[in-house]
Structures are given as C-alpha cells and as structure tokens.
Chains A and B, each alone.
Chain A
Amino acid sequence: MTRDESPPVLELVGVRKTFGSVTALADGSITVHPGSIHALVGENGAGKSTLIKVVAGLHRRDSGTFRFRGADAAFNSTAEAKNAGIAVIYQEPTLFPDLSVTENIFMGRQPRSRAGRIDKQAMHQEAARIFARLGVTLDLQRPAEGLSIADQQIIEIAKAISLDAHLLIMDEPTAALSGVEVERLFAVARSLRDEGRGIVFISHRFDEIFSLCDMITVMRDGAYVATTPTSETSNDELVTMMVGREVADLYPKDLAPIGEVVLEVKNLNSAGNFHDVDLSVRAGEIVGLAGLVGAGRSEIARAIFGVDSYDSGTVRLNGRTVPKGRPAAAIRAGMALVPEDRRQQGLVVEASLARNIGAAIRRRLSRFGLITAGIENKTAGPWAGRLQVKSSALSMSAATMSGGNQQKVAIAKWLATDPSLLIIDEPTRGIDVGTKAEVHRLLSRLAGEGMAILMISSELPEVLGMADRVLVVGEGRISADLDRADATPEKVMHAATARHEQSRQEASA
C-alpha cells in the first residue's frame, strides 16, 4: 500500500462467478489506486476477462466484495457501470461506422442547444478540447469507417474522458496495434494516469507491461495469486507466478515408444491465418501446439483436417497426400479432429448419442449402402461405455449433457473412426477437473498404443504435462519447437509473446 493517502478507485476482494457447473472466477481480487496503471496478467482462462466483465456490469458476481471509489457497487448493466465512471476499451472497439468521430464520442448524450437541437458547435469544441488534452490529432468530422483500430481505440478513450471516467480498463488493447500506435496509446495512458485516473491494463506482452505499468496483479485458475510493484519483480518471476502449480496428478503422461512419422505438414500457408507451417507428428507421440488465443493454432488444425482450405503447402498422412478442403477424405485417410467448440462443431447436440457417435463412420457402418438404428446402437454402445459417458440411454440427445460428458461423446465419435492421427483442440476446456484427468489419461494411453496426437491447448500446464514435444505458435508462425525436457513455461511464454521479428531472430540464431 504505497498510495494509501487516497482511497482505491477499484477494490475487488474474493469475487466469485460461476456459470452452471463451471467456476470462471473463484477468487477475483484487485486493488487499483487513482493515478496508477495496474497490469492484470494471467494465462488464457485465468479469469481476467470474467473479472473485467463483473466490473463492467456484464456479469453479476455470485459473491465477494466489489467497491468502486470507496462505495459498495453492483452494476446490473454496462450502462450503470458507465454512468458510475467505468470505461472499458476492448481489443476491437465498436463504433458507428457512418457517424463522424465527434458524433461517436457523444453518441446518445449529445449536447443540446436551447431549441432542443443537437449543438454541433459545442460538441466539436468539446471533442477538440479532449483530443488536444490527449495530444492526438484526428479529423473530427470524418466518419469512423475506415479508421485504424488504434484510432478507434483513441475515440473510445476520448469517450471515456468526456464521461469523466475514473477507471479505465483496457482489455488487450495492443493486440492489433503497430509499434508507433502502441507508443501513442501509452503516451495517452500516461497522461490519464497523471490526471489521477485509475487504469487497468491487460496484456500478454511483458515488455509492454514493464514499460507502462507500476503495479502488477497476477491471476491463475480464476484466482488471485499476487500483487507486486513492477519495480520489484522480473519477467521470469511473473511467468512462474502465472503458470506455477502442482501438475503431478492431473497429467499422467507415460513415455511411449515413438514410431514412424504419421503426419507431415510442409510449408502450409493461409493468408491472414498462418504462414510457412512445417510440422510432423510421429506414432506414439503427443505434440502440443501452444500459443495465445488467436495466434492461429486452431486455424492450422482446421486446415490440416480440411474443414478450411489453405493457399499452399502439403499435408501427408502415413506418406499419402491428403486432399485439401475435404474433411471426408481426411477421415478416410485416418485423421480425426475433436474441435474446439463441441456444441457448434464437435457434435450435433440435438441428435441422439448413438447418431453422434456413429456420425463420422456412417459409410463404414452401412451394408449395401443402408444403415439402421440397430447398427448405430451396436457401435455406439461400446464406445460410450469405454469413455464412461453418463447417460441413461443411447437415444438421449447430447444437448442437456454437461460439458465434460459432451466432450467424452465427441472423443468417442472420433475414436470410433479408428484414426492414426488424432487432432484434439482444447481437450479439456470448460470441463471439470475429474473429467480433465480422465481425458489426459486417455490421451496418454492412446499414444501408448501408437496413435499420433496433435493437441492444441491454451493451458500451459496441460501442454507441458502431456506433450512429448511442444510447438509454440506466435502470430501465425511456429516460433519454437521444444522437446519435453526443454519445454519450460518460461520458454513457451517467451516464444508465444515475443513479437514476430524477435521470434524470427531466435529461429535463425
């Protein structure tokens, strides 16, 4: 408590938020003082976004203390939070493209002249005053359409200032910005700090955090870990705080004999998604694909499996080229993809358990081109049993099942195709810890039986605990290839957060 002369602008203690059976935030705690830029860091899924949404009035907390400017607060809507003086600037601002910069700033609360009409002159003068204060020059009359994301964020900040926001939350504002734009944003943030406002800054990039912020709060698994002044910590210490935990039980990885190359991807390119991707997975090997959300990991998996097409490159499975853009051909070749979003991609949740488990092998199940419910049930039953799917009957739909149970159905569906390569995207996202360990045991056992597994995960401990080899994807490129022994959280985080230029230097060094 270095600034205890003034009360904190934001104070959260032990805030909890659950969605059904999933606890998104177990212990959200943060104290932000006026005149301070406070970094909030943690892995994907650590609960940062949920915490921000509670503050912004998007979610109601289940329990815990939430004080804003010294008074207890509970916002039922984003409008209430905004009126109280909380402004949130998201990665991608949402402006009205046809309205001018000024109109966007004053949307919904335009100053009125005496006749009740919008006082355009007053509006422009006020806007000009704000931009002068921010030290930014922007044509106030032009429509918002076509402005860069950086400029759009500045408009959001201007809006916040015109509202006289006491707390400004920036959720990964720099993700889409260039170096110069980042500098300008930082200059604006510092001037707001000097005016005595509180700022929360979320970023995955440590260099930015160390150059901008004075305090850092670390979160992990939906809970508060520590708060430290930036001057008293280091890069490595932060990473350790972000990822450190007991992993022994959750990741029962047996070392399996590694066999022949099963999947070989050469020079895969897809404009705007990923570039020059080379990777291979051998029989019995679990290869982890790590990186930040949005780095292009899922896109690579989708292209390999053929649900998306790609621009150039080759995908070979067991030595044979797999045609691009055709999932049916990939399945025939021996590939399986358990996708990221099981409700939208992995399963037809309205359909029965039996139909779902048989969905990818219908042609194989059919006799003389005909398929019956009897055949599907006979196939689905043993698979559901092997994965311990909790259900009273095979005719139950997957819609009402829990996330973990649905994931088991999705895995059963794909194991039923008897694949030589299993691609599994976020195998344990949103499922309870018990099922998590079950899924990990299963993956380890499948690898032991000679299956090649490509596992995408945003949870670093999962990647490090399960993978024989870790490929780190950063900004659409594979920025590191680490053996199990070499793969430390620090190395993976560095490779994932390093900017593209740096990662290229590392690669060539």
Chain B
Amino acid sequence: MTAAIGAQPSHPIDPATGPQDEGRTYAAYHRPWWFRTFVSAEFLIIALLVLVWLVAMTSVDNFSGPLTVRYLLLDIAPLLMIALPMTLIIVTGQIDLSVASTMGLSSVLVGILHVQVGMPIPAAAIMAVLVGVLCGAFNGFLVAYVKLPSLAVTIGTLALYRGVAVGLLGTTALTDFDPRWTDLATSSIGESRIPAIMIPVVILIVTFTVLLHFTPFGRGLYDIGHNEQAAWFSGVNVARSQMTTFVLSGAVAAAAGVFYTMRFGNSRGDNATGLELEVIAAVLLGGVLIFGGRGAIHGVLAGALLIGVLSSALRLEGVTVNVINIIIGLLLVISVLAPTIISGIQQLRSRKTQRKDTSGRTGTGSTSTDPSPSNTDAPPVPATAAPQESAPIAPPRQ
C-alpha cells in the first residue's frame, strides 16, 4: 500500500477479518502515457496548428517575416484571454455569449472616464473591470441562482451590454488617449518581437490552468458539467461555482476591452463586435465538449492560436474578412460535430459488445427452464458468469 497522503483511510476496516479484505492494488492508468498524450483531441489540434503554421511559413508570402508573430499575438491577445474563462464556463455545460459586448462596454467606459471625465488610465481601467465584474455577476446570478439557461440569458445580455455601450457613446469614437498607455499596449518585451501584453496573458494562462486542473474548484466544474446532481450530492457548491465562472468571464472580458482600446487608441460602442464567436470557436476547436465535462487549457490555447494563424495567413494572402469568417464558422461547426460523431461511433461499438454480453447472460440464466423461442439465438456460454447472477433480485426500478 502507498504511504499516507491526505485523507488516507483512517477508518480502519480491519484487514484481518476476511479474505476479501486483502486490498488489491490498481494501476493508475489503463492506457500508456504515449496513448494518453498523443491520442487526444488536444494533441490533434496541436498537430493541426503545427501543420497550418508550416504550410503558411512555406507558401504564404511574408508570413515568415519578422512582424507576423508580433501582429499575430497582438491580434489574438483578447481572444486568448477571454477563451480562458470561457473554457471554465463551457466545461460546466454553460456558455457566455455576452463577452464581446462586455468588451465593448468596457472600451466605452475607459474612453468616457479618461477622455471626458479626465481620470487617469489605470483608474478608468479598474472602473471598467469592476463594471465587467458586475456584467458577469448579472449573468451568473440569472444562470446559477435563478436557474435560467445560459444560452438565453447571455444572448439577452449580449444585446443589453452592447446596447448600453452604443447608447453611451452614440456613433462617435473617442481617440484622445494618453500616449504613454497606448504605446505601452503595443510595445514589445525588450528587444524581442513578443508584445508586452503577453506578460499578463501568460500570467492569466497559468492562473486558469491551475484553477481548472489543479484545484478542488476546477474538479467541481467538470463534475457539474457531467452531472450537476451528483456534483451537488458530493458537496460541490454548484451555484457558487457557476457564479464564479461568469464573474471571471466578465472581469477578463472587460480587461481585454481595456487592452483593445489602448492598442487601437480608440473607444467605440461597436468595438470587438462578434468576437464571442471566435472565442467559442477557439474553445471548442481546442477539444472542449459543448455539453460540458471535458476539455483542457492547452487544447484551447492551440485552438486560439490556430484561429489566429489561419486568419493572419489568409489576410496576407489577400482573402477578405468575410471569407475568413466563413472558414472560422466552418471550423466551429466541425469542432462541435467531431465529438458527437466520435461518441456516436463509440456508442455503436459498445452497444454491439453489450448485446453480446446480455444475450450471454440470459443464456446462462435460463438453462434450467425450457428455452423460449425468443431466446434461441443466445449462444451457450461457458460457466464464467457467477451463478448468483441468475438468482432473483429486485429490478432497478419499480
């Protein structure tokens, strides 16, 4: 037996009382490490990302140029940021469609507070993030406590937050920002071509990876996504967990809105319109199951990068934004379909094996009585099944 870690069984079931107490040991995994690593949705998308990158490097003019990585990362920074809390939300089986509208609202607030009210940028940014928290909390309250479907709630707040953003500023754009901050937003780390924004983005990535994969909270999110009732029975605070994910989503979306405003030096009500689709596409491409319960951060990062590389390469090829949107839309549909098709195939296979199994058992059970006509196709089964299994017991449901 292993050494005590955490709650090693302290309720002793005396090992001396019976042969069935001889503890057996278990392998940790039923698949070897390479199988787990390489046969996964995440690895598939990473491989696809590498492939697309290589193709772009060799066949797209200027893609291998020095500025590509810089603009690519600047472009997808908001996408990368928002995809993180979106992953948490989709893992629980919910969705947040209001993130781009929250970004727009945050952009407008920073503009108004800085340009019109005269607040310094950091103060305006903090105010905008706080409003983002409120936006997320409103979504979270309706989903977690009022128990409304998140699809309906956030499609409503998508319109609501965008409406407020556009209403506040009308069709005007505020551009008179403190140049120190707009320059900072597009600056690079030292002499490299990596934009400085990647520092907070990487911090966020590490934080969300730990949160989802290495905390009780993160474990609970998967449970909620699989089976909310069982999660609640295990002591997972379902409502509070859901609330937390939506608040995180609102806060990160607002922060991304602040960056977006600084990067383009431009505060408008329609900033980042439609970005929610790219975010959701990145998350689902990254192997997160739309029904919840499955997914990992590294897959999502690859999904976001794939979308970034694709649009950057296509743009360099002179493909219009509409065509790029069509491609991203197709990718989204495929990524939603893929797991459904795979699990459909798996179900078909397991049903086949199950049928074999059941008919086998029935065969053993009815050996003593006369075989019925409906049961003649059951093959005779060697006496591997426990004889008790044919003893009469209660059905699972009355």
**B372 near A64: Cβ-Cβ < 8 Å:** yes
Closest to A437 in B: B388
Interface of A is mostly: mixed
A348 interface residue (CB < 8 Å to B): yes
A350 interface residue (CB < 8 Å to B): yes
- Taking the nearest CB of chain B, how far is it from the CB of A438, in angstroms? 7
**A14 near B395: Cβ-Cβ < 8 Å:** no
User: Which listed residue (A20, A328, A345, A436) contacts B361, Cβ 8 A?
Assistant: A20
| Chain B residues, CB < 8 A from A328 | 235-237
A195 interface residue (CB < 8 Å to B): no
B318 interface residue (CB < 8 Å to A): no
User: Which listed residue (B223, B391, B394) contacts A45, Cβ 8 A?
Assistant: B394
**B226 near A63: Cβ-Cβ < 8 Å:** no
**A418 near B11: Cβ-Cβ < 8 Å:** yes
**B9 near A383: Cβ-Cβ < 8 Å:** yes
A181 interface residue (CB < 8 Å to B): no
Alpha-carbon separation in the docked complex, A362 to B210 (Å): 15
Interface string of A63-78 (1 = CB under 8 A from B): 1100000000010000
| Chain A residues, CB < 8 A from B28 | 354, 373, 377, 381, 393-395
Q: How many B residues touch the partner, as a band? A: 35 or more
**A434 near B27: Cβ-Cβ < 8 Å:** no
| Chain A residues, CB < 8 A from B388 | 432-434
User: Which listed residue (B24, B25, B227) contacts A349, Cβ 8 A?
Assistant: B227
B259 interface residue (CB < 8 Å to A): no
- Taking the nearest CB of chain A, how far is it from the CB of B304, in angstroms? 25
**B7 near A26: Cβ-Cβ < 8 Å:** no
Interface string of A376-394 (1 = CB under 8 A from B): 0111111111101001111
Residue with the greatest number of chain A CB neighbours at <10 A, chosen from B18, B215, B371: B215
Interface string of A21-58 (1 = CB under 8 A from B): 11111110000000000000000111101100000000
User: Which listed residue (A351, A354, A380, A430) contacts B394, Cβ 8 A?
Assistant: A430
Given A14-B369, A62-B374, A384:B395 Cβ within 8 A: no
| Chain A residues, CB < 8 A from B8 | 379, 382
Q: How many A residues touch the partner, as a band? A: 35 or more
Interface string of A453-491 (1 = CB under 8 A from B): 000001100000000000000000000000000000000
Given A21-B389, A432-B386, A415:B233 Cβ within 8 A: no
Closest to A16 in B: B366
Given A307-B233, A327-B234, A388-B24, A348:B223 Cβ within 8 A: yes
A360 interface residue (CB < 8 Å to B): yes
| Chain A residues, CB < 8 A from B385 | 21
| Chain B residues, CB < 8 A from A345 | 229-230, 233
**B392 near A386: Cβ-Cβ < 8 Å:** no
**B30 near A403: Cβ-Cβ < 8 Å:** no
Between A and B, 13 residue pairs with Cβ closer than 8 Å are A18-B365, A23-B393, A62-B362, A331-B235, A348-B222, A359-B234, A371-B219, A381-B1, A392-B26, A395-B29, A416-B7, A433-B391, A458-B394
Given contacts A47-B392, A62-B372, 7 further A-B contacts (CB under 8 A): A19-B396, A328-B235, A351-B293, A362-B216, A377-B28, A381-B25, A386-B21
